[in-house]
């Protein structure tokens, strides 16, 4: 009998500009808030009646936290921003361009994208979990893996580049150790610059090379950028300062390739 795999679906979750709720105001709540800040979420914090971490107060004073509610959690908090009531009866009528703006308003400005509960009260935490499930809200109950729709792993961040290490809630400390090991391997390399350079070339290729959007043409473009990416090391890609003009010179070779020699490649983009 094969061993059952216990893993999660690791995704990049877009919550930019969307409401996210954090319940609690201690160290764990602060760590959740910091994750959400990096994702540019619109953060609401229900502090509870105890001590509020001074960094949370400071983040609110700086305008980074959208709303700091200094009281105990109430069930109605899960719908605190909801105004629009869209009925799902006859959904085939709802999926119509005339309804798109109303739906976008609800998703981006009224409904919580996720809920993070970071309190010591297990009974209340469990109640919050099932309230979220009833409302179909994704929820994370801190330190209770069975009551989590998603986990917060250890993150290695360099702006455009994010690497997440997750043990599916089993060993957060091990996740951190692995993350620190990855960080040491990339010391002295501006990975964000490498991402920007390759992203600019890819965008330029898609914008300026007009060929059909059939599967063969798409595959040709993908293989071209893949081979070009493999030309140089991460450190070498991080040394370029590419502009739109540089990129046009590079993609002018398509479907052939520019010189693979690093110094020859540099000459092309500097001339």
Distance CA 145, CA 39 (A): 22
pLDDT at 2: 56
pLDDT value, residue 259: 93
C-alpha 226, offset from chain centre: 23
Q: What is the pLDDT along the chain (271 residues), one digit of tens a residue?
A: 455 666 788 888 999 999 999 999 999 999 999 999 999 999 999 999 989 999 999 999 999 999 999 999 999 999 999 987 655 555 555 567 777 888 888 888 999 999 999 999 999 999 999 999 999 999 999 989 899 999 888 888 887 888 888 887 788 889 889 999 988 988 889 999 999 999 999 999 988 876 666 787 888 889 999 999 999 999 999 999 999 999 999 999 999 999 999 999 999 888 7
End-to-end Cα spacing for the chain: 63
Is 117 in a helix, a strand, or coil?
strand
Fold of 19-152: Rossmann fold (3.40.50)
What value, to the nearest 5°, has the Cα angle with vertex 207 and ends 201 and 212?
115
- For the CA atoms of 233, 238, 241, 243, the dihedral, rounded to the nearest 10 degrees, stands at 70
- CA dihedral of residues 143, 148, 154, 160 (deg, nearest 10): -150
Question: In 5-97, at which residue ranges do the beta strands (DSSP E only) sit?
Answer: 19-23, 42-46, 67-69
Report d(CA 47, CA 74) in Å as an integer. Answer: 11
SS3 140: strand
pLDDT of residue 154: 84
Can you give the pLDDT at residue 236?
A: 94
The per-residue pLDDT for 6 is: 65
DSSP assigned state of 66: S
- What whole-number distance in Å separates Cα of residue 24 and Cα of residue 122? 13
Dist CA 43 CA 33 (whole Å):
7
- Collapse the DSSP code of 249 into the 3-class scheme (helix H, G, I; strand E, B; otherwise coil) and give the result: helix
* Both tokens assigned to 11: 């995704």
User: Where does residue 193 rank: exposed (0-12), middle (13-18), buried (19+ CB within 10 A)?
Assistant: buried
Sign of the torsion angle spanned by Cα atoms 181, 185, 189, 191: negative
Nearest-angstrom CA–CA distance, 44 and 35: 13
Neighbours of 18 (CB within 10 A): 21
Is the CB of residue 190 less than 8 Å from the CB of residue 196?
Answer: no
Would you list the domain boundaries of the chain?
A: 19-152, 191-270
pLDDT digits (tens, 9 = 90+) for 74-124: 999 999 999 876 555 555 555 677 778 888 888 889 999 999 999 999 999
């Amino acid at each position: 009998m094969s061993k059952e795999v216990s893993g999660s679906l690791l995704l990049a979750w877009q919550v930019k500009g969307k409401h996210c709720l954090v319940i609690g105001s201690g160290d764990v709540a602060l760590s959740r808030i910091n994750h959400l800040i990096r994702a540019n979420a619109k953060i609401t914090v229900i502090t509870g009646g105890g001590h509020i971490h001074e960094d949370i107060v400071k983040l609110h004073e700086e305008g980074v936290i959208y709303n700091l509610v200094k009281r105990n959690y109430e069930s109605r908090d899960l719908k605190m921003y909801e105004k629009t009531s869209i009925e799902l009866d006859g959904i085939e009528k709802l999926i119509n361009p005339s309804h798109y703006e109303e739906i976008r308003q609800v998703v981006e400005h009224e409904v919580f994208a996720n809920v993070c509960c970071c309190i010591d009260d297990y009974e209340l935490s469990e109640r919050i979990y099932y309230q979220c499930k009833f409302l179909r809200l994704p929820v994370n109950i801190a330190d209770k893996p069975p009551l989590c729709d998603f986990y917060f792993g250890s993150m290695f961040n360099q702006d455009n580049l994010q690497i997440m290490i997750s043990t599916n809630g089993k060993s957060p400390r091990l996740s951190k150790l692995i993350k620190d090991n990855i960080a040491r391997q990339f010391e002295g390399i501006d990975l964000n610059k490498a991402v920007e350079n390759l992203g600019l070339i890819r965008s330029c290729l898609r914008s300026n090379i007009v060929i059909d959007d059939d599967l063969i043409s798409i595959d040709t473009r993908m293989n071209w950028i893949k081979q070009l990416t493999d030309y140089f090391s991460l450190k070498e890609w991080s040394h370029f300062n590419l502009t739109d003009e540089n990129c046009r010179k590079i993609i002018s070779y398509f479907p052939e390739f520019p010189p693979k020699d690093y110094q020859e490649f540099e000459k092309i983009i500097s001339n």
